Amino acid sequence: MDRMLVVVFDNENKAYEGKKALQQLDREGSISVYAYAVLAKNADGTTTLKQGDDAGPIGTLVGTSFGTLIGVLAGPVGMAVGAAAGMAAGSTVDLDNIRVGSDFIDDVQKDLSPNKFAVIAEIDEDWTTPVDTQMEAIGGTVFRRALSEVSKTVSEEDIAAMKADLAQMKAEHAKAQADRKAKLQEKVSQLDSKIQAMLQGAKERREAAEQQAQEKVKVLKAKAEAVKAKPSQPERRTA
């Protein structure tokens, strides 16, 4: 199951131990790690992105759910990282892209207090015991949430209702007096822009979801090829 994972630690050394533990579980085949980052919450409340996996397909992944979560948790620094990797600079955060509930984000933010560190990862795991056992042994607090389906479309009912309002406003605009026309035109423009933004957002989410799925397949294929290329170990014979 695809999940977003955040593990909060009391210090930087433990956070890096946690990152290495995730990588080891990935090598063993216990989980698949698609993307990760280490985040520090500074004493003044600001955040610093200490380390991220920017090799291979990660640039594409950072532009979607993983990067958006970093943007929310890390603030302006995280948003800058996300923008560099594909998020629109200066855009508002689309919480649909994170694909986890706001309660999950609230829980993480409450625990990620100043002078703490977090390992953030997008993973696939069949059961929770391997990760929990490793992280709890290091002293990490684990937060995980299964990724919801991406909302690739907008509600047809919402769009229909907005278009009906738009048509009504245009009809009124055609018959309005000069002093009223300007106000109606402003409302028409605002509503039309909102409709187009909703349609464009749905298109971007659909394309991002499709790209993310393709990149995850590439990650899994690369791991499978690496296993095939690894020379087999000779069997040991006992006397």
Residue pLDDT, tens place only, 205-239? 677 777 777 777 777 787 778 777 777 655 555 54
3-state secondary structure of 5: strand
* Domain assignment present for 23: yes
Quote the pLDDT of residue 233.
58
> Averaged over 178-195, what is the pLDDT?
83
What's the maximum distance between 2 C-alpha atoms anywhere in the chain?
103
Based on the domain organization, do 9 and 60 belong to the same domain? yes
Residues 43 and 54 in one domain: yes
Residue span of the structural domain in which 206 resides: 151-232
Whether the model clears a pTM of 0.75, i.e. scores above it, the answer is no
Is the pLDDT score of 96 beyond 70? Answer: no
Same domain, 156 and 143: no
Give the range with max mean pLDDT: 115-119, 164-168, 208-212. 115-119
Comparing 87-96, 98-107, 203-212, the range with the smallest average pLDDT is 87-96
Of 124, 148, 172, the residue that ends a domain is: 148
- Say how many domains are in the chain: 2
DSSP 76-90: HHHHHHHHHTTSPTT
217 & 120 share domain: no
> Shortest CA distance to 24 belongs to which of 130, 181, 138, 103?
130
**Least confident residue range of 23-37, 68-82, 164-178, 220-234:** 68-82
81 assigned to some structural domain: yes
